[in-house]
Amino acid sequence: MRKTWLIFSQAVTVAVALLFVVATLKPEWLQGRQSTLLPSAVSITAVQPVALTSVPASPTPNSYRAAAKRATPAVVSIITSKAPRRSAHANDPWFQFFFGDQARQLQQEPQIGLGSGVIVSADGYLLTNNHVIDGADEIEVMLTDGRKAPAKVVGTDPDTDVAVLKIALDHLPAITFGDTDAAQVGDVVLAIGNPFGVGQTVTSGIVSALGRNQLGINTFENFIQTDAAINPGNSGGALVDANGNLLGINTAIYSRSGGSLGIGFAIPVSTARQVMEGLIKDGQVTRGWIGVEPRDLTPEIAETFNLPIKQGVLITGVLQEGPASAGGMRPGDVVVKVAGTPVANTSQLLTAVAALKPKTVAVIAVQRGDKAIELQVPVAQRPRNPVRNDR
């Protein structure tokens, strides 16, 4: 047995040696054999470049470059300048003596501001924030293709912090409006703007919350909250969905450091568009007003007044001879619906009343003690500077 094993091992060794010699000196003898032994290798080599060239034709997983490519040309940088304020002590020789050239330099240098904007029509209309251009003497818009143009202020609405600008350039890229009503918490969004003046930047995140209000930022608040990074300079820029459609105008962040902490707010494009149309058409935004002083209904107040409801807005004051008074509203009434729209807090009441058309009559449902009644309230136009807490 041992002798047989020795003969077998020697034969294998000789066969391997012969195969090595033939493969080295006469490889063509093995050509036919190779074609049958290595079909998978040949197949892999042939298929590999086909797979590589086909990748760009299909969507790249976890990439939003198509949305960014579609939206970024319409997002612009806005540079504003304000004339330097002349100090009351400018001609005071002692002031000049103590502060010298530094004082004169500070008085002569204009204040420069940076922000962002969004082109929403091919004829040159832009949306941005009111606080971006507020008080500016000169406004310049810079496109991603390098073109620059001075901008004219069409109108502003401080109550929503929306401003509309217009530039005169040809072949302008306009963004497509998205549907904010279809947006849901968890949807992917991109924030596009010019943070800190470093240049156009795209950040990604999700819709963190919808309908944020009572933040004390604007009079009318219905913010989209997102964790996409928004920093100083992003104000007025675009918040877009995963398809590159405009969902909102970035306007504010919650931050203790001045940088993004993942809590940013954007004005819904539905609100911005409504404001823009009013400013372009009439030069102002027309809103409804009924003349009441509201307060959120708390469980304690509801229990005190023995109310059968838990949500609504308590009316603590009614303007004498105002629209609400003419419609029969009284202090102590709790508003639960405005023209069919439920209201649960003062912010929602303000928004619902503002959406009413002046010179019409609105049905307002109130709870008066243990009775639910409907009032026919005439709607007036909201004054430019209403009394504080007056709705």
Tell me which of 77, 116, 208, 235 is the catalytic residue. Answer: 235
What does each C-alpha distance from 61 to 173, 188, 205 come to in angstroms?
27, 14, 16
Rounded-to-integer distance, Cα 142 and Cα 135, Å:
19
Per-residue pLDDT, 29 = 60
Q: Would you give the DSSP letter of residue 177?
A: B
Lowest mean pLDDT among 48-52, 71-75, 279-283: 48-52
What's the token pair of residue 346?
A: 């003062």
> In angstroms, rounded to a whole number, what is the distance separating the alpha carbons of residues 144 and 124?
15
Per-residue buried b or exposed e for 119-154, using 16+ beta carbons within 10 Å of the residue's own CB: bbeeebbbbbbbbbbeebeebbbbbeeeeebebebb
**pLDDT at residue 2 in the model:** 62
Question: In the predicted model, is pLDDT for residue 388 greater than 50?
Answer: no
Strands 380-381 and 371-378 turn out to be unpaired
Report the CATH fold assignment for 69-166: Thrombin, subunit H (2.40.10)
* Burial of 49 from C-beta contacts in 10 A (0-12 / 13-18 / 19+): exposed
DSSP 289-306: E--EEEEEPPHHHHHHTT
* CATH of the domain spanning 288-381: 2.30.42.10
Separation in Å, CA 31 to CA 23, 35, 36, 50, 322? 10, 7, 9, 26, 101
Asked if residues 387 and 318 have their Cβ atoms less than 8 Å apart, the reply is no
Kindly name the residue from 116, 131, 241, 333 that is annotated as catalytic.
131
**Around 49, how many Cα atoms within 13 Å sit in the side-chain half-sphere?**
3
Question: What is the pLDDT, as a whole number, of residue 42?
Answer: 31
Query: Which residue among the candidates 161, 227, 241, 333 is catalytic per the annotation?
Result: 161
The DSSP bridge pattern shows strands 138-142 and 75-82 to be antiparallel
Mean pLDDT calculated for residue range 71-90: 80
Rounded CA separation 287/351 (Å): 9
**Cα–Cα distance between 19 and 236 in angstroms, integer?**
75
Residue type, position 17, single letter: A
How many other CB atoms sit within 10 Å of the CB of residue 50?
8
Non-local (6+) Cβ contacts of 211 within 8 A are: 222, 223
Residue range(s) occupied by CATH 2.30.42.10 in the chain: 288-381
pLDDT tens by residue, 178-230: 998 899 999 999 999 999 888 899 999 999 999 888 788 888 888 999 999 99
To which CATH superfamily is domain 180-282 assigned?
Trypsin-like serine proteases (2.40.10.10)
Mind listing the pLDDT tens digit for each residue in 241-268? 999 999 999 998 887 777 778 899 999 9
With H, G, I as helix, E, B as strand and everything else as coil, classify residue 152: strand
Using CA atoms, how far apart are residues 218 and 239, in angstroms rounded to an integer?
18
Active site residue 235: yes
The pLDDT of residue 183 is 92
Say what the pTM is.
Answer: 0.70
Rg of the chain, C-alpha, whole Å? 34
- pLDDT at 190 (0 to 100): 95
Mean pLDDT of the chain: 82
Closest CA to 129 of 161, 82, 175: 161
- CATH 2.40.10.10 boundaries in the chain: 69-166, 180-282
Closest CA to 75 of 174, 205, 160, 207: 174
Identity at 41, one-letter amino acid code? A
CA angle 189, 192, 195 (to 5 degrees): 130
Confidence label for 301 from pLDDT (cuts 50, 70 and 90) = confident
pLDDT, tens digit, 9 for 90 and up, residues 306-340: 888 888 999 999 999 899 999 999 999 999 999 99
Residue 170: Cβ-neighbour burial (10 angstroms; 0-12, 13-18, 19+) = exposed
Nearest-angstrom CA–CA distance, 313 and 366:
9
**E strand or H helix that includes residue 203:** strand 201-212
φ, ψ of residue 16 to 5 degrees: the values are: -65, -40
Sequence-separated (6 or more) residues with CB below 8 Å from residue 51: none
DSSP 146: S
